[in-house]
Amino acid sequence: MIDFSAADIAELCNGRLSAGTDPLIRIDVALAVTDSREAVDGSLYVAKAGEHADGHDFTASAFAAGAVLALAERDVSSAQDADDAETWFPAVVVADAVLAMGVLAAEVVRRIRAHSPLTVIGITGSAGKTTTKDLLAGILAPLGGTVAPMGSYNGEVGVPLTVFRAVETTRYLVIEMGATKIGQINYLAGLVNPDIGVVLCVGSAHAGEFGSIDNIAQAKGELVAALPSDGTAILNFDDSRVRAMSTRASARVTWFTSADAGVGHGPDAGAAGEGAVHARNVRTTDGHPEFDLSFPGDPGTYPVKSQLLGLHHVANLLAAAAAAHAAGAVPADIAASLTTQGAASRYRMERTDRADGVTVINDAYNANPESMRAALRTLAELGDGGNRRTWAVLGEMRELGDSSVLEHDLVGRVAVRLNISRLVVVGAAARAMHVGAVMEGSWGKESMFVPDAEAAFAVLERELAPGDVVLVKSSNGAGLRFLGDRLVADRIALPTSDATADPPQQTPGERTQQA
C-alpha cells in the first residue's frame, strides 16, 4: 500500500490540520472515497462541493462508516447538538480538495517510479475510451500488476481515485482522460506523466461546451504534446484530426488503422511515424468484428475475432493492441486476448438475449452523433436483412450546443435510411429525431415520439415479439440505461432522475459525461 500521514498530506497540499487532528494518523490512499456511503474502516473522506450538494454535509456519515481523516475545504464540527462542546472531525483543510487529490496522485506516481519500473498509458478521445482501457488492461494484466479505472473515471476526481489504487509493485497504470474544456487533459497528464498516449477520435460530443470540433481536437491533442521524447503516441490514422496531432508530438508516433494503403509510408506518416498496427480483411459475424491484425516490423498476421458488438469497435481494438505492443506485449498474446475479451463495463453495446427470443442491446451510457450512427448500423446488421424486426429506442444526446436540433434530426433520418423497423424517440429534448424520421419518409408506426421512459416501456411491453432486436441508446443523463435494464428484467420502477440521496459530491465527476 501507499500511505501518508496527516502531516504528510498537509505539507504536500499546502494545508493545515484541524484542531485536535493527530498529525501521525496514517492513511492508505487506496481507501480514499468521495462518497460517504463508500467509506470503510481507515478511509480518507474527500469532502468537496458538488453540483447538487456539499460533501462537507456528509462528513459525519463518512466517519460513522469508518473514515479516520477528511480532506476538506473547511473545518467541520463533530458536535452532536448545540449543547455539546465544539469539536472538529480530524481533517486536513485545503483551499481546493479536488486539486489536493491531484497533488496526492502525482506523489503516488512519483513514489512508485522511485521504487520500481512503471509504465503509464493515457487514453483520450471523443468515444471509445472506456472500452479501450478495458481491453488494454485485459492484455496487460498477465504481464504484471495493472491498475485501470473503474467504469469511466476520467476527470479531475476519477483520475486520482484510479491512481490511489496503485501500489509499489504496480507495473502498468492505465488512465482514461476526459475533458469538458481546453487545458483539462494537460492538467491530468501533468499528474501522471504518461509514457504512452492514445488518441482514439475527435467527434462532436460536447461541442456545445468546447465551442467547436476544432477546439475538441486541440484539447485531445494536449495528451500528445505532453508525452516525453522517449514516449510513444498512438494515433488513429483514419481520423484526419487525430492524424494531424502527429505535428504536436516530440514522442515517436505509431498509427493504428483499418485503411488499405498509405500508412507508414510517405509524408502522411509524419517524420516521427513508425508504421501502423493494421486491421485487414475487416468483417463482422452476427455483429462481432473480425480482422487480421498486423504490427509494424512483424511479418506475422494474427486473427482477431472480437466478442464486442459493433464494427465501430475495430478502432478501439486496434488502439488497445498498439498501446499494449508499445508497452511490451507480444503480438500473438495481444491477438489472443482481444479475441477472448468482451465488454467489461456496463451499458456499452451490452447484449442480452431474452428467453422469449427478444435481443436487447443496452448502449445508453453515452451518446453523440457518431456513436448513434455506429450503433444504428450495428442494429441494422443484427436485423439480418429484414429477417428480424429492429427497434431503435433513442433518447437525448446532450451537450451538442447550437447544433443539437440538427444533429437529432439527422439521427432520425439515418434510422430511416438504414431501414430500422421501428423508431421510438423518448423525451422532448430528442423529439427532433422523430421529426427527422418523418421528414425522411417514415410514416405511421415506423416512428413515434413518447414523452418519457415509462411510456416507451409500455409500447415495448405491448408490441415486442420473439425475434425482435431492440437498441436502447441515449446520453447517460437521459437515463435510458434503466429502461434497458427493465427490458431485461422488469424488477424496478424507472427512476425519474439520476439524483441520489448523497449526490454528486461523492461521484467522481465522470457521471456527467466527459468527452
66 close to 42: Cβ distance less than 8 angstroms = yes
> Of the candidates 306, 340, 374, which is a domain's last residue?
340
Query: In this predicted model, which residue has the larger pLDDT, 1 or 309?
Result: 309
The whole-number pLDDT of residue 476 equals: 86
Asked whether residue 234 falls in the same domain as residue 191, the answer is: yes
Asked whether residue 389 falls in the same domain as residue 459, the answer is: yes
In degrees and rounded to multiples of 5, residue 347 shows phi and psi of 65, 25
Please state whether 194 falls in left (phi above 0), alpha (psi between -120 and 50) or beta.
Answer: beta
Asked whether residue 155 falls in the same domain as residue 281, the answer is: yes
Asked whether residue 117 falls in the same domain as residue 233, the answer is: yes
C-alpha cell at 386: 429484414
Distance CA 50, CA 55 (A): 7
The whole-number pLDDT of residue 5 equals: 97
Q: To 5 degrees, how large is the angle CA 287–CA 366–CA 192?
A: 105
Asked whether residue 220 falls in the same domain as residue 331, the answer is: yes
Residue span of the structural domain in which 78 resides: 3-95
Q: To 5 degrees, how large is the angle CA 438–CA 444–CA 448?
A: 65
505 — pLDDT class (breaks 50, 70, 90): very low
Taken in order 503, 497, 376, 368, is the CA torsion positive or negative? Answer: negative
Asked whether residue 208 falls in the same domain as residue 67, the answer is: no
Counted domains in the chain: 3
Using alpha carbons, select from 261, 257, 259, 303 the residue that is nearest to residue 277: 257
The whole-number pLDDT of residue 87 equals: 87
Asked whether residue 55 falls in the same domain as residue 182, the answer is: no
Q: How crowded is the C-beta side of 165, counted as CA atoms within 13 Å?
A: 16
b/e 276-308 (16+ beta carbons within 10 angstroms → b):
bbbbeeeebeebbbbbebbbbeeeeebebebeb
Residue 104 resides in a domain: yes
C-alpha separations of 152 from 133, 162, 314, 433, 497 in Å = 9, 10, 20, 27, 20
Residue 514 resides in a domain: no
- CATH number for the domain spanning 21: value is 3.40.1390.10
Query: In this predicted model, which residue has the larger pLDDT, 212 or 354?
Result: 354
- CATH number for the domain spanning 108: value is 3.40.1190.10
212 — pLDDT class (breaks 50, 70, 90): confident
Q: What is the mean pLDDT of residues 337-346?
A: 91
Residues with Cβ < 8 Å from 493, sequence gap 6 or more?
none
Asked whether residue 38 falls in the same domain as residue 70, the answer is: yes
Asked whether residue 370 falls in the same domain as residue 477, the answer is: yes
Residue 410 has pLDDT above 90, yes or no: yes
Q: What is the largest distance, in Å, between two alpha-carbon atoms of the chain?
A: 79
Asked whether residue 85 falls in the same domain as residue 217, the answer is: no
Q: What is the mean pLDDT of residues 305-333?
A: 96
The whole-number pLDDT of residue 511 equals: 36
Beta strand residue intervals within 363-484, DSSP E:
390-394, 422-426, 447-450, 469-473
Residue 512 resides in a domain: no
26 close to 4: Cβ distance less than 8 angstroms = yes
Residue 510 resides in a domain: no
DSSP 493: P
Residue 210 has pLDDT above 90, yes or no: no
In degrees and rounded to multiples of 5, residue 210 shows phi and psi of -80, -25
204 close to 400: Cβ distance less than 8 angstroms = yes
Find where cell 487525430 sits: 242
**pLDDT tens per residue across span 283-307:** 999 899 999 999 999 999 999 999 9
**pLDDT tens per residue across span 66-111:** 999 999 999 998 876 555 657 899 999 999 999 999 999 999 999 9
> Of the candidates 289, 311, 340, which is a domain's last residue?
340
Asked whether residue 271 falls in the same domain as residue 391, the answer is: no
Mean pLDDT, rounded, of the chain: 89
DSSP 158: H
Amino acid at 1: M
C-alpha cell at 488: 431485461
User: According to the 3-state scheme, what is the secondary structure of 270-321?
Assistant: CCCEEEEEEEEEEEEECCEEEEEEECCCCCCCEEEECCCCCCCHHHHHHHHH
> Of the candidates 95, 120, 136, which is a domain's last residue?
95
**pLDDT tens per residue across span 470-479:** 999 999 888 8
Residue 208 has pLDDT above 70, yes or no: no
Residue 499 resides in a domain: no
Residue 501 resides in a domain: no
Residue 398 has pLDDT above 60, yes or no: yes
Residue 270 has pLDDT above 80, yes or no: no
Residue 471 resides in a domain: yes
The whole-number pLDDT of residue 206 equals: 58
Q: Residue 152 in 3-state DSSP?
A: coil
Asked whether residue 360 falls in the same domain as residue 304, the answer is: no
348 — pLDDT class (breaks 50, 70, 90): confident
Residue 138 resides in a domain: yes
Find where cell 469508518 sits: 66
pTM of the complete model = 0.86
